[in-house]
């Protein structure tokens, strides 16, 4: 059975086509700058890779070209081979605790919840509608980023603000990157060979979140009402004193939207370094003894270490720490610095093993009190698995 995983953004559409018999990737690709000048697509299959500039006025055209290319490039013999479509959906509030078959009710909820994810939920709906029109008979499944975190208890997901804000407006911690954290939890269960375990999943990239996971269920996570909170990220501030917002508004003559834009797009690594949101650039500048880059790098590590230490206590100890996503999978020095700061918890890593990239690797030493792994995440595979499970 062939299933296609879709991640539709406001101006992009990312896909991966799987043969579910062995979970192999048949093809993958990205359609970029949809509705903008300079739109293009990239498709990889086998040892081939094509990149082409093409007019993409909307998601409907992008989907049409995608499906046409899958057949014309002989990736599949006909569209009848695609038997399921899985969509990444960002925000399902607390209504959706698991993946679901997409119905008109689900689509309406995505539209009703758009104020919680204004950049993502409308784009997700565009992707769904485009595939509905192109492949109306193929069942579709929605996989929510927020679903995995709905096992948090009330004392964790509620904020210490007037309770009426939660009742009337849904003000609470929701959490994100849930599909990635769930994939890591499943991998940890396999590696440990048991159902009962305590795990800290560190999804750290340009966007970053950590999750405390017990026996496969989320206990707590760093992102909250929006993806802005938690650890410091590429361009996002993470946790700050909220009083800063009205203070800067007054000093700079900004409105709330302008300050929030700065916190989302001009803070984090980029804000402190005044140079780049990419950790590779920050590390290169550190090698040149750039002070702002050094401060940004140390602050990034410190925030992650703080949360790991907090989750260690919350879980009553930890069996495994996993690094995943862009920085987590690829930044050798950042992993080393985080683990060195956790030495008081008995964490020890092998520096040679820590040099590994791109594959599941145990980097902790035999005498480390906590197992430390690098595990490349695979959200698209989780989406395909959920799709297969639900369409039966």
Q: Which residues pair with 371 in a beta bridge?
A: 320
Residue 94's pLDDT is: 93
Distance CA 266, CA 272 (A): 9
Mean pLDDT of 188-217: 96
How does residue 363 score in pLDDT terms, banded at 50, 70 and 90?
very high
**How many CA atoms lie within 13 Å of 277's alpha carbon, on the beta-carbon side?**
19
Query: Per-residue pLDDT tens for 234-279?
Result: 999 999 999 999 999 999 999 999 999 999 999 999 999 999 999 9
How does residue 119 score in pLDDT terms, banded at 50, 70 and 90?
confident
Element (H, E) at 199: strand 198-204
Residue 123's pLDDT is: 85
Known catalytic residues are 145
Residue 117's pLDDT is: 83
Would you list the DSSP string of 99-164? -EE--HHHHHHHHHTGGGSTTTHHHHHHHHHHHHHHSTTS-EEEEETTGGGGG--HHHHS-SS-HH
Q: 337 CB contacts (<8 Å, ≥6 apart)?
A: 301
Q: What pairing do the DSSP bridges indicate for beta strands 320-324 and 371-374?
A: parallel
Query: Per-residue pLDDT tens for 32-84?
Result: 988 888 999 999 999 999 999 999 998 989 999 999 999 999 999 999 999 99
Query: Per-residue pLDDT tens for 12-43?
Result: 889 999 999 999 999 999 999 888 889 999 99
Residue 358's pLDDT is: 84
Element (H, E) at 52: strand 48-53
| Class at the top of the CATH hierarchy for domain 193-379 | alpha beta
Residues of the chain with CATH 3.30.420.40: 2-144, 193-379
Mean pLDDT of 283-312: 96
Q: What are the φ and ψ backbone dihedral angles of 372, each rounded to 5 degrees?
A: -125, 125
Residue 11's pLDDT is: 82
Q: What distances in angstroms separate CA 300 from CA 25, 116, 199, 259, 279, one per listed residue? A: 34, 26, 21, 21, 10
| Class at the top of the CATH hierarchy for domain 2-144 | alpha beta
Q: Which residues pair with 374 in a beta bridge?
A: 323, 361
Q: What distances in angstroms separate CA 27 from CA 2, 23, 135, 380, 391, one per listed residue? A: 11, 12, 18, 12, 21
Mean pLDDT of 289-293: 94
Distance CA 57, CA 51 (A): 18
């Amino acid at each position: 059975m062939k299933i296609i995983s879709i991640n539709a953004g406001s101006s992009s559409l990312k896909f991966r086509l799987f043969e579910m018999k062995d979970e192999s990737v048949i093809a993958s690709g990205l359609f970029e700058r949809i509705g903008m000048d300079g739109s293009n697509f990239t498709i990889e299959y086998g040892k081939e890779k094509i990149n082409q500039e093409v007019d993409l006025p909307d998601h409907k055209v992008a989907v049409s070209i995608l499906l046409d290319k899958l057949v014309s490039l002989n990736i599949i013999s006909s569209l009848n081979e695609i038997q399921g479509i899985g969509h990444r959906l960002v925000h399902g509030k607390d209504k959706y605790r698991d993946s679901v078959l997409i119905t008109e009710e689900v689509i309406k909820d995505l539209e009703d919840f758009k104020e919680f994810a204004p950049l993502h939920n409308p784009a997700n709906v565009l992707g769904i509608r485009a595939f509905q029109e192109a492949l109306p008979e193929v069942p579709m499944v929605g996989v929510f980023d927020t679903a995995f975190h709905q096992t948090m208890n009330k004392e964790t997901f509620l904020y210490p603000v007037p309770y009426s804000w939660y009742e009337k407006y849904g003000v609470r911690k929701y959490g994100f990157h849930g599909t990635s954290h769930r994939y890591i939890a499943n991998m940890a269960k396999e590696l440990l060979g048991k159902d009962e375990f305590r795990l800290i999943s560190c999804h750290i990239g340009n966007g970053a979140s950590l999750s405390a996971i017990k026996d496969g269920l989320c206990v707590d996570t760093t992102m909250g009402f929006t993806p802005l909170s938690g650890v410091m990220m590429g361009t996002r501030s993470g946790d700050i004193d909220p009083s800063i917002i009205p203070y800067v508004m007054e000093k700079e003559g900004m409105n709330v939207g302008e300050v929030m834009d700065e916190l989302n797009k001009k803070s984090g690594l980029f804000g402190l370094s005044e140079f780049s949101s990419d950790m590779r650039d920050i590390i290169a500048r550190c090698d040149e003894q750039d002070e702002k880059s050094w401060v940004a790098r140390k602050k990034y590590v410190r925030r992650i270490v703080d949360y790991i230490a907090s989750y260690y206590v919350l879980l009553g100890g930890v069996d495994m720490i996993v690094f995943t996503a862009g920085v987590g999978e690829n930044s050798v020095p950042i992993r080393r610095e985080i683990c060195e700061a956790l030495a008081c918890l008995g964490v020890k890593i092998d520096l040679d093993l820590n040099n590994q990239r791109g594959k599941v690797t145990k980097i902790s030493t035999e005498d480390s009190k906590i197992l430390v792994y690098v595990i490349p995440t695979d959200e698209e595979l989780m989406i395909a698995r959920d799709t297969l499970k639900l369409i039966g």
